[in-house]
Structure 1
């Protein structure tokens, strides 16, 4: 018998959420063990029996609303069931819903602003009113602000969201929140509403210029409380000129600088309010995950510093604040500073640039009190507390905040450092998904960079339910897009013409207008999102093609290049080893190809012309940048990666480019030499040329610069630069270094697809692709993803007698499989296979000198010993020089290396050096001076 569907949702909202559209789409999951409905009908019931609609087909994700459009404040329940082969299954559990305010005319409230208090450098204002109610059946509060707000009714907090209403392109879109506040009101009594409003993104500092009040000079509030009586009548209490405003104890607040709170009693300054500008036409219901408290961390170490401060280590980098409970400190001033790392045992605040990241409290009395800032956030691992000795501190807690996104992806493998890297990537994502996907949570920036998100969106969409956040961010992108089609570097755009005035913006960054919606479509199957984004995406591509000119080579003007290539000068991160015009032209070709895929859903008639344009760009790229025998201008790793990934080369060129790419990587000891754009593609390029084991070597090396070098050096999040901190603990360019950045974490997408082996083969994972690399470097891996249709999992393990593979596909999902010994197509269900593939040999798991040089370099421990030995003997000046000298001998046994390497000092050392090599590759690290 067909099992009941489960998890019925409206749009991307959980059961009971407030719905912000009159025609919400429906999604559900078929229960495990039920037959996959290939030819079926689906019934949807609104209420309990009065209205049932039949839908043909087997779709279960984002099914169009089959009833008449809903009105504002509509409430109801929904159930679904399916018919398969003539038999109707049971109904799902009902899902309740309620629509919020859907029309401009639903708003009686107006925006109010303070008069005489709440100025830019004055305490945060509290807007308030009192009112009386009769008997109460239910009550709803609709509220938003110019600024960030916290509301109370009768002294009790409304909701648990933080920094509401979040950050959107305020001039075009200001989200409002809806709360069920029935239990907070007192029937037949006097009630009060108090709303604290802070500067937030609306009026606080944004960007590195120091500018404030980007959206307006005055804070404001619009709120509407609707109380429904038992007879169905409704009383409305709305913001207007009758409200009052007073100063709060928050003397100053800023997202970058922190808060100043004076808790000493004083008569508050009170004032009146004025009606502000009309904003009701830009209000829209919130549909994204709000910012909430996600976790609480206990310190791993608390110690006194030499000058009497208390230094706290929370053990990991995160976004949030310190919660401090103190007592016995009347009138004492307490300061809490924050930083991501320590240098010489002290907070390294240079990386904050001008952000003060300082919370200050002046206490009122001796009683115990918990101090939390709430109108700000910091990115930090370490906090320094002054003004309170340890005897007066009763509790220290690190409060972790972030958008409360549902976790949907998990990965684990036999290599603990890779697991730690993956954990760091997840932590960086949590830290930087703060309503808007930002670039770092600690310094005077924290902006929604288009390039960073375009690279990380595939990984993010696997790890979390990003559907609503990406939808909201792309809507802001459309609002901020310039009339000529240019896309700003950050969304929401608050830096304007500070970067490249009048330029077409940058390839690889503004391409987010195309790449992000396509990523979302692949992950969630939301065709409507592509349709909404089509005009924006195609306008950006037209603008970029115009900038490239008739020859389709995009050169001149400002470009980001392969941003933060480790070879780039510290002060000019765009000028790496790959020519910026090559990067721009390659990115444009890739984006046009992606636009043709987007057009196949949103505008099919445009597909042929886009494919022709793509072919034209490939021809232009190879003609300008690729020699007849396959060498690519710049001769850098990223240059070859872009050429290979574009599939722009003929077979002979491709073979030569592949050889050169591998040679360059070997010469670097498989360490990173790519910037943001190249990093997101390098491992896939190696897959494309059949060099997946080399991709694994890149992933697993821990020599600087590399992913695992950060892990080896104790990173708990992903760094902005490959070498934000070097092996000696020196910070690289503190002016632009973040230790919590998700761009280089784009590698998680490859880890999920190729180490774990799971990717979407059809939009929304209707068909999964299962293709793990059964590598000798990792003996087992497992990956799970909560797709729109249910959880998909892949687990494999290598043993001496072969490989076991376990695959679970939920109802409605099938898979294409690329694993030796496993069928190429699998239906939904549970599958177990044991292949005859033996345990792969790892040449020289012992310390044998018969190992090839390239294998030794790929080994974390022995590669380190070999490189260190060359440096200590004076054969090489540093690690880079050592890799360069060893590169020609990659395929040579280490035993023969002493006789062959071309270095006079090496040969002069003769048998002593040979002995040093052989013994250094064994147990221990002998001091070569003893020879």
Structure 2
């Protein structure tokens, strides 16, 4: 590993290292292994190696550093060759974290690179390696940073000005790149452009993305083009990016004055829909386009219905995944954050596995999560965790229930979708440490997290749960109830995982723990009448979905749950951890009509409200833009946060009606169990699963339902029909309701269904004291 002596530290000009070398012959089979501290782009004889972006990627650099392998025979020539590696600050040392306490040099202060070039794969002796004989110099990239953006002066040519030196590096940190590299997706054209009052050009690409702008310009040397980014316009139609906080997210290009000049940034990306261009000097913009980038490059699922807003919601979720699955599953791609928040990933992992191939992506990220896990079992709020090595201003940035649960929920979803039992076994010890940590917070089955940020076991609770009218806010779940529920979820799920991988002792211990938590929850948080202590939507939804309600109180609890929906005018009353459970809970208690009403209502808070307000990705907050167009507090207001898009898992698994069977994962057995919501007819969905393509589509005409499905060739299907469906026929023959075997191929199911109607009395319960 060698560093450029031309480098002057974080926030200064980017550097390169280079070497001329000679080859007697070129076979065309030459292989390059390459990695870096910082970010790199490699050129051989002036041509770029590969097309991957933001290499070597983002990991817990002090323990794990990825390297890439490229076939480079086509770039080499017999005789003299030259290799040049550009290096940028990247995640290694440019700003991470926010506010008054940004962190720099998070995993090191020195950028550096390492290569081995071999005549062919498997050769023991390399033809070329990095050592202190390499040269270095500064680049036209005068400054770059993940949050900052990039400043590029095309008048400056890379020129050798210094040498290199070897630095201490443990090669045991190196791991072969584990996931799909970040790549460019299809470019987006401008759909609308205008000039603002100050003469700056504003461009609308009609889609919020994670990526960057590419421009073509002509003009005189020294003229500059400054590109700023924004997700939204304010209520008056003005360019607005105050919500980026301290992230400058600006590109500055200085022209060389040599014909048409093309530019796109090298070591950064932004989250944006709009770009604002300020030109100083003699320059003209010839072309501009937006380039989305992502680690998830192929779409694996589709969903359409008779409601255009729902269809756009599904597409918004897909775009939020693309823009935030850039090396790690981040919360947002725009402001001074862009961190791998564990809570977001935990609730979204199931949806993510439908929308794209995330097997290796999540494996890689969870391995970093294992590195970042603290000695006592606490799992960090974000991963890779910038605070682990520099905790001074962020003490205790770990240990929240619902967030740390990513350590078991993400591998579980990987198992369900890809059948990866080995990964479950690999992560199991870390899962167990997490469960034991949560129990230890209060030394018992009831978890009472401290309120203070940074205190051991601090909990985010149901993050961003709407409170209702300010005059009389609606009840919200307490941290103790949320944490206790999640301890039960974790203990039960990790016990199941232990059983799958053959660890009987752990299975039995954690199953016993789960039972103890369930009993304690019922004693502490469920009244004699069946009401839950905090009497809020999240409490009921999670308790119902995870079977925490005693049988003798179930009917009464259902009534109280419905009352929380009515009390909120049949709108959402859940935040990050409650929202994925809300509609499944309503379906589970048989309130299909109420689930449809909650899902389809178009006012805030609601999924379709943001679509009506012009969203092209999922918002962080239900009320990110008010009904009058005014912007919510920009201190925490992202317009590209995928967490609430977890509802798409429900759309596919319940509404379209297909899911993997957990006892036969990876869609080797596909369960078809549709929930008919007439307001959504016609519904059609498909998923390109590891076992092959799954399709499902239904229409309802009057009371007649036609359900058409396809079972992959290598799978078996199971049809489960609700008791409320009548006169069911499978491929023209009468059929029962439960677990009907389906052969591979296409099938048509028909049945009659009378949707339940809510009575006037049910709809008027808003002011009732009891259900």
Report if TM-score (shorter chain) is over 0.5.
yes
Aligned match of 1:136 in 19, 26, 34?
Answer: 26
SS of equivalent to 1:176? strand
* Aligned twin of 2:364: 472
Choose the corresponding residue for 2:689, options 787, 797, 800: 787
Q: Distance in 1 between matches of 2:123 and 2:492?
A: 56
The match for 2:329 is 437
- C-alpha change, 1:235 and 1:144, in structure 2 (3 Å) is closer
Structure 2 CA distance for partners of 1:687 and 1:133, relative to 1, 3 Å: same
**TM-superposed deviation, 1:500:** 7.2
What residue in structure 2 maps to residue 833 of structure 1?
748
Asked if 1:723 is matched to 2:638, the reply is no
Q: Does the 8 A contact of 1:340 with 1:381 survive in 2? A: yes
* Mapping 1:544-559, distance limit 5 Å: 544-556=438-450, 557=455, 558-559=458-459
How far residue 194 of structure 1 moved from its aligned partner, in angstroms, is: 0.6
Corresponding residue for residue 153 of structure 1: 44
How far off is 1:766 after superposition? 1.3
> Partners of 1:576 and 1:272 in 2: how far apart?
65
Extract unaligned runs of 5+ from structure 2: none
Question: Would the aligned equivalents of 1:489 and 1:506 in 2 still touch at CA under 8 Å?
Answer: yes
Name which of 416, 421, 442 aligns with 1:522. 416
1:622 aligns with 2:522: yes
After the TM superposition, which residues 274-353 of structure 1 pair with which residues of structure 2 at under 5 Å, given as runs?
A: 274-343=165-234, 344-353=236-245
Q: Distance in 1 between matches of 2:393 and 2:346?
A: 19
- 1:546 to partner: Cα distance: 1.3
* Per-residue Cα deviation, 1:11-46 (whole angstroms, up to 9, x for no partner): xxxxxxxxxxxxxxxxxxxxxxxxxxxxxxxxxxxx
| Residue of structure 1 aligned with 2:634, choices 734, 739, 746 | 734
Distance 1:827 1:388, change over 3 A: farther
Distance in 2 between residues matched to 1:560 and 1:267, nearest whole Å: 48
Identify the match of residue 593 of structure 2 among 693, 706, 718.
693
Which of the numbers 667, 671, 678 marks the counterpart of 2:567? 667
Structure 1 runs not aligned, ≥5 long: 1-110, 844-850, 856-884, 891-931
8 Å CA contact 2:3, 2:110 repeated in 1 = yes
**Distance apart, 1:513 and its partner CA:** 0.9
Q: Across the two proteins, how many residue pairs are aligned to each other? A: 739
Three-state SS of the structure 1 residue aligned to 2:578 is helix
CA contact (8 A) 2:316 2:618 kept: yes
The answer to whether the Cα contact below 8 Å between 1:143 and 1:176 also exists between their aligned partners in 2 is yes
CA offset at residue 324 of structure 1? Answer: 1.0
Deviation, 1:731, is 1.7
Cα gap change, 1:459 to 1:436, in 2 (>3 Å): same
Q: CA deviation at 1:332?
A: 0.6
SS in 2 for 1:387: strand
1:167 Cα deviation after fit: 0.1
Which residue in 2 is equivalent to 1:421? 313
Match of 1:816 among 710, 718, 724: 718
Match of 1:581 among 480, 501, 504: 480
Is 1:594 the counterpart of 2:486? The answer is no
Give me the whole-angstrom Cα distance separating, in 2, the residues matched to 1:339 and 1:440: 13
Counterpart position of 2:277:
385
Deviations 1:450-482 (A, max 9, x none): 100000000001111110011101111111111
Report what 1:376 is aligned to.
268
**Separation in 2 of the partners of 1:152 and 1:746?**
41
Q: Does 1:771 align with 2:673?
A: yes
Decide whether the 8 Å contact of 1:150 with 1:157 is kept in 2. yes
Partner of 1:117: 7
Separation in structure 1 between the aligned mates of residue 283 and residue 163 of structure 2, nearest angstrom: 44
Residues 329, 388 of structure 1: 8 Å contact kept = no
1:807 matched to 2:688? The reply is: no
2:273 and 2:527 mapped to 1: Cα distance? 49
For 2:223 and 2:283, the matched residues in 1 are separated by: 14
Q: Distance in 2 between matches of 1:391 and 1:191?
A: 36
How many angstroms does 1:889 deviate by? 9.3
Q: Report the equivalent of 1:879.
A: none
Q: Secondary structure at the match of 1:763?
A: coil
Structure label with greater radius of gyration? 1
Structure 1 Cα separation of the partners of residues 281 and 528 of structure 2: 72
- In 2, Cα distance between the equivalents of 1:605 and 1:450? 28
What is the distance in 2 between the residues matched to 1:310 and 1:538? 55
Deviation per residue, 1:601-631 (Å, 9 max, x gap): 1223322222211110011111111101111
When residues 233 and 474 of structure 1 are mapped into structure 2, their CA distance, relative to the original with a 3 A threshold, is closer
Q: 1:832 to 1:390 in 2, by over 3 A?
A: farther
Quote the Cα distance in structure 1 between the aligned partners of 2:11 and 2:756.
Answer: 68
Secondary structure class of the residue paired with 2:561: helix
Q: Does 1:358 align with 2:250?
A: yes
1:679 aligns with 2:579: yes
CA distance in 1, matches of 2:469, 2:49: 50
Q: Distance in 1 between matches of 2:561 and 2:626?
A: 26
Determine the structure 2 residue equivalent to 1:706.
Answer: 606
- In the TM superposition, residue 733 of structure 1 has moved relative to its aligned partner by 1.9
In 1: Cα distance, 2:715 partner to 2:591 partner: 30
Give the whole-Å Cα distance in 1 for the aligned partners of 2:84 and 2:653: 50
Distance 1:663 1:273 in 2: 70
Change in CA separation of 1:413 and 1:889 when aligned onto 2, cut-off 3 Å: farther
The answer to whether the aligner puts 1:651 opposite 2:551 as a matched pair is yes
Cα distance in 2, alignment partners of residues 304 and 157 from structure 1:
36
The answer to whether the Cα contact below 8 Å between 1:200 and 1:254 also exists between their aligned partners in 2 is yes
Residue 234 and residue 534 in structure 1: after superposition, are their counterparts in 2 closer, same or farther (change >3 A)? closer
The CA distance in 2 between the partners of 1:398 and 1:179, in whole Å, is: 27
For 1:728 and 1:214, the matched residues in 2 are separated by 42
More contact order relative to length (CA 8 Å, sep ≥ 6): 2
SS at match of 1:392: strand
Secondary structure of 1:375 counterpart: coil
**TM-score, L = length of structure 2:** 0.92
1:928 matched residue in structure 2: none
* 8 Å Cα contact 1:796-1:806 kept in structure 2: yes
- TM-score where L is the length of structure 1: 0.76
Which residue number in structure 2 is paired with residue 11 of structure 1? none
Give deviations 1:26-81, integer Å, cap 9, x for gaps: xxxxxxxxxxxxxxxxxxxxxxxxxxxxxxxxxxxxxxxxxxxxxxxxxxxxxxxx
Q: In the TM superposition, what is the alpha-carbon distance from 1:536 to its structure 2 partner?
A: 0.5
Contact 2:33/2:69 (8 A) holds in 1: yes
Other-structure match for 2:75: 184
Tell me, what secondary structure is at the counterpart of 2:127?
strand
2:626, 2:422 → 1: CA distance?
A: 46
Tell me the distance in 1 between the aligned counterparts of 2:387 and 2:94: 14
Q: How does 1:565-580 map to 2 (within 5 A)?
A: 565-567=465-467, 577-580=476-479
1:439–1:446: 8 Å Cα contact kept in structure 2? yes
Paired position in structure 2 for 1:106: none
CA contact (8 A) 2:93 2:106 kept: yes
2:32–2:117 contact (8 Å) kept in structure 1: yes
Q: Distance in 2 between matches of 1:352 and 1:770?
A: 43
Distance 2:237 2:397 in 1: 44
**Aligned residue in 2 for 1:36:** none
- For residue 688 of structure 1, report the CA deviation from its aligned partner: 1.7
Distance of 1:853 and 1:244 partners within structure 2 = 81
User: What do residues 405-454 of structure 1 show as CA deviations (whole Å, max 9, x unaligned)?
Assistant: 43222211121111110000000000000010000000000000110000
**1:200 aligned residue (90, 97, 103):** 90
